[in-house]
Amino acid sequence: MWERFFSEMTKETLEILRSVAQFLPRLMITLIIVLIGWVIAYVLRYLLRSILRLAKFDRLSEDAGASQFLKKAALPSTTELLSRFVFWVAWIGFILIGVSVLGIVGLQEHIGRFFGFLPRLFAALFVFFFGLLAASFFSRAALLASVNADLPSPRLIAATVRTVIVIFSVSVGFEELGIGEHTILVAFTIVFGALMLGLALAFGLGGRDLARRYLERRFMHEHKEEREDELSPL
């Protein structure tokens, strides 16, 4: 009986040792991949930070209003944030590749999903950022045009333009990420439709006289003597 026991013990021990011997090289490879990944991610971070600094990306994001937003949230600059983001995404990618080498059952599928999600995440971030940039540019353009055309409430016009563009880019971004696709699309449609209807009613009913005066000024050239531009600038 003792003989049988020792034989089984030895067999199992050898089996464990064989498994460990088989696992150890894979663990070593995993660690090496993680280490190389860290180096590559660090280099990527350094390169991206240098390129963004050269391209004055912080100024662009300041223009988009993203910098002010980050400052309020006590976050670093957009250049730093983007560099860190790329570092972590790259390193996590390498960690997952390393883990996949271990051959743990069921993990491959999750890793595949993660890599499949990355392009959509980048696309969504791209849409968010350029949405902010476009919102800032067009709202400023609307503000300047309204002030120079002497329209009432220029800041309201600018804020409306900004809000519509931000809502639009957020809805496109979420749609790209696959988060609440239908809800956000419907919400956007309702908000946008309501806004347009509200503006139409406000301008059509509330601002009838204003609309009439504006159209008269625009197309019938009445009250021409009141225009300051009558003093030819050039």
How many other CB atoms sit within 10 Å of the CB of residue 34? 16
How many chain residues are in contact with other proteins, going by CB under 8 A? Answer: 24
Considering beta carbons, is residue 47 or 141 the nearer one to other proteins?
141
Name which position in 140, 160, 163, 191 contacts other proteins (CB under 8 A): 140
Q: In angstroms, what is the minimal distance from the CB of 80 to other proteins?
A: 20
Among 55, 107, 144, 179, interactor with other proteins by CB under 8 A: 144
Query: Binding mask 149-178 vs other proteins (x if CB under 8 A, - otherwise)?
Result: -x---xx-----------------------
- Which whole-number Å values give the CA distances from 70 to 18, 53, 79, 80, 128, in the listed order? 53, 17, 11, 11, 14
- Phi and psi torsions of 73, nearest 5°: -90, 10
Give the Cα separation of 63 and 216 in Å (integer). 37
Q: Pick from 1, 74, 148, 205 the residue near other proteins by CB under 8 A.
A: 148
d(CA 74, CA 67): 10
Residue 64 burial (CB < 10 Å; 0-12/13-18/19+)?
Answer: buried
| Piece of 35-43, 81-89, 142-150, 165-173 that binds other proteins (CB under 8 A) | 142-150
In this complex, which beta carbon is closest to other proteins, that of residue 39 or of residue 145?
145
State the Cα–Cα distance between residues 96 and 121, nearest whole angstrom: 17
State the minimum distance, in angstroms, from the CB of residue 124 to other proteins.
Answer: 26
Q: Rounded CA gap, 79 and 145, in Å? A: 32
To other proteins, the closest distance from the beta carbon of 163 in angstroms equals 16
Cβ of residue 145: shortest distance to other proteins, in angstroms? Answer: 8
- Is 48:86 a contact under the CB 8 Å cutoff? yes
DSSP conformational letter for 74: T
Is 217 a binding residue for other proteins by CB under 8 A? The answer is no
Least distance to other proteins, CB of residue 43, Å: 31
Is 37 within 8 Å of 91 (Cβ atoms)?
Answer: yes
Nearer to other proteins among residue 209 and residue 229 (C-beta): 229
Q: Which residues bind other proteins (CB under 8 A)?
A: 59, 63, 137, 140-141, 143-148, 150, 154-155, 225-234
